[in-house]
Chains A and B, each alone.
Chain A
Amino acid sequence: MIPAAVGYVRADSAEAAVAALGEHGDEAKLLAGGQSLIPLMRLRLARPSVLVDMGRAEDLRGISVDGDTVSIGALTSHSALEHSVELAAACPLLAHVASQVGDPAVRHRGTLGGSLAHADPASDLPAAVLALGGTLVATGPGGSREIAASDFFTGFLESALASDEVLTTVHLPVSTGGWAYQKFNRRAQDWAIVGVAVAEGGAGVSLVNMGSTPLRAAAVEAAVAGGAGASDAAAVAADGTEPPTDNNADGAYREHLVRVLTERALVAAGA
């Protein structure tokens, strides 16, 4: 299938992208790697008026560790996260989760910032960044601001980014505790039917595809903090979730799965 006609401008920096978004209005859309947006455009489920292509903003690519903070440029590819030696040491959960996204070709093109801004509740990386307690930096016409990951995902495919804001950097605390990611699907290439990310030995727990946004499993985190064992903590994993129904699973089965996977992830993370 073939996308609808679209305009195109290139923005080789965050500032240029912000300006282009301001100029072209609400129907303009940022293009990073395009791995989520282009399939939607082909199905004509997305039909932006103008694409603002940030793909060449080289200064938004890269991973650095400074003290107890990891900083990742928004255009860093999943593949770069997967293969980064620094990231494997400083934040192994994110490196591992990146390796579980899609397939190698998707990981070569897809970007961390693109995945976060797309805000798909079924995606892997948003949940990882949530569990890790990340901070997202956005640049808009008035300058930059920081948004906590826990405030970033506001609805189905909706984020706290304003229509003229651009995600530039993701900050994560250097990890010190146990971690795990449980991804349950029927084919390796598919989105998770349910996924559970655990960071810092259970201090951060987040859920994939259990509602309209990536979810932080606050009840599980609280149970772990209160000294509960993995089994007891996992028992509340579905609390407050509104999981979707699709071909692979209904809500009740997802609730069952999320408890099972949370327990397994907590055990693997040493919680």
Chain B
Amino acid sequence: MEVSVTVNGQVRTADVEPRTLLAHFLRDDLGLTGTNIGCDTSSCGACTVLVDGRSAKSCTMLAVQADGADVTTIEGLAGEDGLHPMQQAFHECHALQCGYCTPGMVMAAVSLVDEYSDLDADGVREGLEGNLCRCTGYQNIVKAVLAASE
């Protein structure tokens, strides 16, 4: 069926099977491969995007559910002025190594600091419970999110 989703500010329309995961719609139909897939069980958060401004796991959502929604992926975060403050903080705090979890982690972090005010380190840790990273041990990720939330 046809779905029409505003992705990173542009209306994108495609004919998809109802079972198509939002993550596959973004990656395979729209060529937005920045959104990664790391698991089958909604556990790792690598596929996190913003749906209507709030984090969602795009592997646990069907493209048809996003019909009419506003989706932001990692490709839509950096502007003409360069990196988004969250991306910049990840860079400056060395909050990424292999970078595979990074797009999802950054999107989750953007949503987190928007949703919860006055985050402290524990709040960031709890708030990122659904995003797994195997490289960094999270210390610099927490530092980056706190830096970007100020």
Q: Nearest Cβ in chain A — how far from B109, in angstroms?
A: 10
Q: B54 contacts A43, CB within 8 Å?
A: no
Q: Does B137 contact A (CB under 8 A)?
A: no
Q: A104 contacts B108, CB within 8 Å?
A: yes
Q: For residue A31, which residues in chain B have a CB less than 8 angstroms away from its CB?
A: 62, 65
Q: For residue B112, which residues in chain A have a CB less than 8 angstroms away from its CB?
A: 104
Q: For residue A55, which residues in chain B have a CB less than 8 angstroms away from its CB?
A: 65
Rounded to whole angstroms, the CA-CA distance of A27 and B56 in the bound complex is 27
A56 to B, closest residue via Cβ = B68
Q: A108 contacts B45, CB within 8 Å?
A: no
B104 to A, closest residue via Cβ = A105
Q: Count residues of B near A (Cβ-Cβ below 8 Å).
A: 33
Rounded to whole angstroms, the CA-CA distance of A7 and B64 in the bound complex is 11
Q: Does A6 contact B (CB under 8 A)?
A: yes
Q: Nearest Cβ in chain B — how far from A183, in angstroms?
A: 12
Q: Does A187 contact B (CB under 8 A)?
A: yes
Q: Which residues of A are at the interface with B, using a C-beta cutoff of 8 A?
A: 1-8, 31, 34-35, 38-39, 41-43, 51, 53, 55, 79, 83, 102-106, 108-109, 187-189
List 11 A-B residue pairs with CB atoms under 8 Å apart, sorted by A's residue number: A5-B17, A7-B18, A8-B18, A34-B65, A35-B42, A43-B40, A43-B41, A55-B65, A105-B45, A106-B60, A109-B51
Q: Nearest Cβ in chain B — how far from A103, in angstroms?
A: 3
Could you say which of B80-88, B89-97, B126-134 contacts chain A? Answer: B126-134
Q: Nearest Cβ in chain B — how far from A263, in angstroms?
A: 25
Q: Quick one: given A43-B40, A104-B111, A108-B55, are A38 and B61 in contact (CB under 8 Å)?
A: yes
